[in-house]
Chains A and B, each alone.
Chain A
């Protein structure tokens, strides 16, 4: 068990800078997920922590010791790969014990550890099989078992669920969470799937273009994104962005979306945005769940307007609706009984208490 610290870590391949100065503190026992689109540098960062990639500049510390020049085998880490990377000629038990056998652990100790890990992962009856006799989910369990028996300081996961089908992925996600609750090993987990990131992480690190966009708890990122990238990346369906500007009407602050549609801001929001320039190009960020059917009784901060729907997607417990506003496609979530139908009109309401205001040029949430 140990904490992991990255200080101004840079990775440069010839001309390309894959990781551009990352600072990250991961506490002991913490489960941290690095998430971002492909090419954002998350896997490179993980591989640098593992020691599989040299770092160009900066420091990586595991348990307080700088490990920049320490080879992978001496870092006391274990890694689970996307394609499992099981040794095909060894049985499950041999796969799991390979690292321990190399370190010349006593046989009895190895057996105890394998039994324990196999029980935890529910693969007891598989220990004598070869990898090719296992299903994808079972292989992933073995790969995790191989990490667990080592009892390392840090677990590293590199997109471990990407090769599984959707149903199995959900199941293994829960499995990974259970394992972490039992062994409490510091974990760094890389994924491009924001749902995985939200569900697994104590803290999520959102990366883009080799930089960290924001670090926070899943709820923190969801409700208080710092940038347009984070706001758009976290949450599904994604947050809507509508071009808008602020205007003063009779001493009150309004937000104007189109020539026809403008809403008064709720008092709390009005106070917060008072200093924003009236001519600045802004974006109104609203999550789909804050665009719903209009209720009979008006609530403070919730403003109604009329829209003609393009498409509806009934999901069972809710219906996703899509309409166009000034050329932008907007998604909302309404009650299945709200009478939404494609091509039909619907009176909608936006909850401005949960709005985000962004600077269109810089992408920063104000």
Chain B
């Protein structure tokens, strides 16, 4: 019994200020978990439903059973899609468009952001605001004039852009470049001015300052911008719907809808499978790059 701790009930209670503060924190924590759970359910139910449906046969989908349970699981939807040339063509088109768009976007917006945030030249501040304003123009407003422009361009030069997958490589940067430039301007602005001044005194040119100091230091920001550009080009629906029509030129989001909905027949099992497979690449990329996204590489640069 020597190890028993005696508790003196008459002893004064602990500092009430400390206790009340921790009670507040505990409540804050409980509420945040409550809403986080609510939000998680809200956003995870649709993909879950997609997954369940994708594992069912067409007969089971139309049968009047519990829609939240798979009684006869089958991979036939997956096999069917992954062995269909059509689906693989959509996938290939999506991948090509996204790779080109991301590359073009980063090649333009990183140097542009560097110039706008660091090389003080006449009108640079106005230009930076202008870049952002461009992003505010809704794309629904642009697709008709763009269509007309591509048609005229085709008439003049003989280069046909409409109904080719690469038309999207021309169109998407109009959405991604302004936004990514804006993100990068913000990120570059957080890099202390002394860092590029030190580089300039060390004898670096502007280009060397960008490639050897700014890009490595701003890597988390660059990755964030890359993820954004990828997500936009992977998930765009309106532009591909307008600009591409032939089956071999379609990208995933449009391809799934147009090839799997025939008249009033909805091939739900394959639609859900296609959507799930289509959502996989962004998911994987997010999962791998999330740490970079959050990490602050600038730690230690200055007094910090």
Name A's B-contacting residues (CB within 8 A).
Answer: 50-52, 71-73, 77-79, 81-89, 98-99, 102-103, 130-134, 136, 139, 146, 150, 163
Contacts and interface: CB of A to CB of B under 8 A. Distances in A.
Contacts of B301: 84-88, 131
Q: Which 8 A-B pairs have the closest CB atoms?
A: A132-B300, A99-B202, A85-B194, A83-B302, A131-B300, A88-B301, A73-B203, A85-B198
Contacts of A89: 216-217, 297
B74 interface: no
A53 to B, nearest CB: 10
B192 A72 contact: no
Given A51-B201, A88-B299, 13 more contacts: A72-B197, A81-B198, A82-B194, A83-B302, A86-B198, A87-B195, A87-B301, A88-B217, A98-B204, A99-B202, A131-B300, A132-B304, A150-B202
Max count, chain A CB within 10 A of own CB: residue among B213, B216, B304: B304
B303 interface: yes
Contacts of A81: 194, 197-198
Contacts of B303: 83-84, 136, 163
Given A88-B297, A132-B304, A133-B300, A79 B213 contact: no
Nearest to B203: A73
Contact of B192 (A51, A52, A78, A83): A83
Contacts of A98: 199, 202, 204, 212
B298 interface: yes
A82 B193 CA distance: 12
Max count, chain B CB within 10 A of own CB: residue among A78, A83, A85, A134: A85
Contacts of B199: 87, 98
A86 B192 CA distance: 10
A79 B300 contact: no
B295 to A, nearest CB: 12
Contacts of A72: 197, 200-201
B208 interface: yes
A85 B197 contact: yes
Contacts of A83: 192, 194, 302-303
B197 A86 contact: no
A86 B196 CA distance: 10
Contacts of B195: 85, 87
A85 B200 contact: no
Contact of B299 (A77, A132, A136, A146): A132
Nearest to B197: A52
A291 B298 CA distance: 52
Interface string B190-231: 001011011111111100100011001100000000000000
A79 B195 CA distance: 11
